[in-house]
Amino acid sequence: MKKTILLIAALVLAILPAFSQERKPDGNLPKWEGLAETPQMGWSSWNKFQTEINETLIKDIADKMVELGLVDAGYVYLNLDDGWHGERDAQGFVHEDSEKFPSGMKALADYLHSKGMKLGIYSDAGTNTCACYTGSLGHEYQDAFTYAKWGVDYLKYDWCYTSNINPKGAYALMRDALRWAGRPIFFSMCEWGSSKPWEWAAEVGHSWRTTGDIGVGFLAIPQRYDENGNRLWTPLGVMPIVDMNEPLRQYAGPGHWNDPDMLEVGNGMTAAEDRAHFTLWCMMAAPLILGNDITDMTPETLATITNKDVIAIDQDRLGIQGLRLKKEGDIQYWFKPLEGGDWAFCILNIGEAPATVTIDWASLEVDDELSGRRTDFANVNYRARDLWNTSAKPFTTLVKGKGKLRRQMVQNPVSTVVGSHDVAVYRLTPVNGQ
C-alpha cells in the first residue's frame, strides 16, 4: 500500500505544473501546438516488420537513417508500432517487453535523441491493441505520464477493441492526458476515418487517419478469402486510398493533417508505382512515414524517398492539400499551391501502358477557392522544372494571351511521355517580367 501511495504521489507531483496550463472554454486542455506546422516525416516498424521488433533492429534502422541522409532529409521520427508492450505492473503502469528492449525505452529514446531523431510509440484506445497487447483504456493518464518519463515524442493511437467507446471522447481524453503529462508529444490518431475525424479532430490530434490500412498494391487489391471461402481482411491499394483522401482537402492545414496511412515505397511495387505513390502523398500534403526495411533497399527506393524537390512539395509551409483538377481517361491532372506563387503540377497515368500527354495549359486553369489562388496561364508565364527527370531542360508555359509581349507569343504545347502507373511532376514558378 505504501508503495502505491508513493507512486501516485510521484505522478501527481510530476504533472502538477501542468495544472496551471490555460484551459479551453469547454474545460478541456488544448493539444500541444507547434508540432505539426508541416506534415510529419519519419519511419514506422509496422508495414515491414509488424510485431517482430526489438532494440537491435530499431537501433540499426536509426543508424542507417542517419548514414543514408534520411534524417537530414526530414525523416526525424522513428516510430515503434504494435508489439513493443510488456505487462502492466501492480499499479497499472505499462512496461516495455524486457526481452525485446532490454535497455528500456528511456535508453532507446536517449539513443535516438543523440542522433537528432525522435522516438514514436504506439497504443490503442481500447482494451487491447490490434495485435492483442495491452491497450490504454482506463490507463490514459498513466500511459501519457509513462511516455513523457521515457522521453517519447510521438504517439500513434489506434482503434481496435473499442466496443461501445465514443471516439470523440476517447481521443480527447488521451489528448488531455498527453498535455497534463507535460512533454510535447505529437498525437497521431488512427481511427481509420470511421467517425469522420476530419470534421471534429482539428483541436484533438495533429493528424488523423482518413482510410483503412494500406497494402502493397497500386490499384485495388483483390479481396482475400480463406480456404472455406470466407472473406478475410484486405488492405487498400494506393489509388483507392487516394480517391478517399483527396476530397477531404478542406480539412487539412498547418497543425492538423489528413493521414492516408504510411508509405509502402520499397515494399514490392514497381519503381514507377513507388514514385507515383510517393508523389501523390506529397501532393496531398500527407504525412511521410516510411515503412520499408531501411537497412536493405535499392538505390531506386533511396532516390525516391530522398528527392528533396518532391519532399519540398509535401513540406511547403503554405500547408494546402493538393487538388485533382481533372481526369481524361487514365490521365489525371493534379495541382498544389505553394509558397511564393509557385504551383506543383502532377500528371498521373493509372493506365497499363505509357501515355504521350500534350499539356494544354489553357484547359488547365485553376481557380482554387480553398487557397484563394488561381493560375491564370493566359496572363502569367511560368517556368516549369521537372522534379523527377532533373536532366530535363526547364520550359515555360507560354500561353497566347493579353499584353504587348503576349501578342508576340504563340501557344507552345509541351508533350511528355508518362509511364504506366507513373507520374510527371513539375514545379511551376512565375517568370518575372512576363
Chain center to CA of 163: 27
Alpha carbons 312 and 278: distance in angstroms, whole number: 12
Burial class (CB in 10 A: 0-12, 13-18, 19+), 319: buried
The vertex-109 CA angle with 23 and 168, nearest 5°, equals 35
Burial class (CB in 10 A: 0-12, 13-18, 19+), 244: middle
Q: All 3 cell numbers of residue 200?
A: 471534429
Closest among 145, 234, 159, 225 to 191, alpha carbons compared: 159
Neighbours of 294 (CB within 10 A): 24
Evaluate whether 245 touches 258 at the Cβ level (below 8 Å).
Answer: yes
Evaluate whether 125 touches 170 at the Cβ level (below 8 Å).
Answer: yes
Sign of dihedral through CA atoms 100, 234, 248, 341? positive
Tell me the catalytic residues.
Answer: 158, 213
Dihedral through CA 70, CA 71, CA 73, CA 77, nearest 10?
A: 100
Q: Element (H or E) spanning 328, and its range?
A: strand 323-328
Burial 366-378 (b: 16+ CB within 10 A, else e): bebeebebebebb
Sign of dihedral through CA atoms 98, 101, 105, 107? positive
Phi/psi zone of residue 2: left (φ > 0), alpha (ψ -120 to 50 degrees), beta?
A: alpha
The vertex-307 CA angle with 301 and 308, nearest 5°, equals 150
- Phi first, then psi, for residue 96 (nearest 5°) are -75, 160
Provide Rg for the chain, Cα atoms: 23
DSSP alpha helix (H) spans, 154-265: 167-181, 238-245
Evaluate whether 172 touches 23 at the Cβ level (below 8 Å).
Answer: no
- Phi first, then psi, for residue 79 (nearest 5°) are -105, 120
